[in-house]
Amino acid sequence: MARLERVHDLHAMLDGRRTPLPLAEIVDRLECSVPTAKRAIRALRDTYGAPLVYDRDARGYRYAHAEGEPRFELPGLWFGADELATLVTLKEIIARLEPTLLASIMAPLSRRLEELFSRRQLGSGEASRRVRVISQHGRAPGSSFSRVAESLLSRRRLAFKYAPRSGGDAAGRHVSPQRLVRYRGCWYLDAWCHDREALRSFAVERIADPHILQEKARDVPEDRLDAHFTAAYGIFAGPATDVAILRIAAGRARWVADECWHPEQQGKFLADGTYELRIPYGRPDELILDILRLGPDVEVAGPPELREEVGRRLKEAAQVY
């Protein structure tokens, strides 16, 4: 049993008990040695501030609440030093990824973590100086994020106005939220659209005037969501209909070999040192953008239509210069 679990169990034994608890019974119920039980007692008293005293007459431990004092409760967060360090690091990462979105939500957690760090004499302030998260090309999720998340987790339908980035006027949508997806610095809502009677993906920052409805959301099976949204390359949904065959030059091969472009990709080094990467895809839009970033270090070996489209884009780029 972990140390913190013993502390939690010890508190459960003492909470509301009218008679002192003998050490022998603590040892028996915690299934530990006497020294280990005493460490749990000290931790509960000294680290978490429990009003735990030893009653010499009754030869046992009990909570001593002063008259009028509220009943002692363990803190809502009870973590070890390593767990606290991980939590603070994650908190810092989240804050840097979404500095405005989660500021008010994270504030109470931040205060609680600071309090726990102070008790453990750990410097949580180090995280802000030691942790760096560098984001590129992301888009702020906008003011609708909290409403979208509430609808998703409460499993209720959502109505909103949506104007796609491709253009056109905003149109009303009525959806059953399925998943929130963060992809390349942007948030997307995967949902069942009751207007189209089909699965659709919506950029959260383009969602306006969201209203949570009383109607229960329709649940789409996980395997169907996976087949629709994740089978193909990138955020563009649909089944994978082709497999791109890319040949990466030897000088760049080891970098690309360590990258995950798609969960179902396959790669191997060829005899001449190049790296062959095979990637399933449906719509090629994002795949082409990733291919173009490698410039002359990649050749599209197939399929022919993908090779031709990448070649056309490169020719157009060369004409600009």
DSSP assignment string, 114-142: HHHHHHHT--TTHHHHH------S-----
224 and 268 in a single domain? The answer is no
| Mean pLDDT value across residues 248-273 | 92
pLDDT at 144 over 60: yes
Domain CATH code at residue 202:
2.30.30
Residues 212 and 282 in one domain: no
pLDDT of residue 1: 47
Tell whether 73 is covered by a domain.
Answer: no
DSSP 226: I
> pLDDT tens digits for 270-296?
999 999 999 998 888 889 999 999 999
CATH at residue 30:
1.10.10.10
What's the pLDDT score for residue 127?
A: 58
Q: Which of 54-58, 130-134, 316-320 has the lowest mean pLDDT?
A: 130-134
Q: Supply the DSSP symbol for 204.
A: G
Q: Give mean pLDDT, residues 307-315.
A: 97
Task: Render pLDDT for 179-225 as a digit per residue (tens, 0 to 9).
Answer: 998 887 788 999 999 999 999 999 998 999 999 999 999 999 999 99
Count up the domains in the chain and report the number: 4
Residues 194 and 213: their CA atoms lie apart, in Å, by: 13
**Strands, DSSP E only, in 43-129?**
52-55, 60-63
Closest CA to 172 of 187, 182, 184, 162: 162
As a whole number, mean pLDDT of residues 135-155 equals: 83
Q: What is the mean pLDDT of the chain?
A: 84
Domain containing residue 225: 145-230
In a domain, 85, yes or no: yes
Position 42 in a domain? yes
Output the CA–CA distances (angstroms, integers) from residue 38 to 10, 22, 32, 215, 231, in the order listed. Answer: 11, 12, 10, 54, 55
Q: Is 172 left (phi over 0), alpha (psi -120 to 50) or beta?
A: beta
What's 292's domain CATH number?
3.30.70
Domain shared by 205 and 149, yes or no: yes
> Is 69 inside a domain boundary?
no
Same domain, 164 and 225: yes
* Residue 140 belongs to a domain: no
Higher-confidence residue: 200 or 102? Answer: 200
User: Based on the domain organization, do 126 and 150 belong to the same domain?
Assistant: no
Q: What is the pLDDT of residue 101?
A: 62
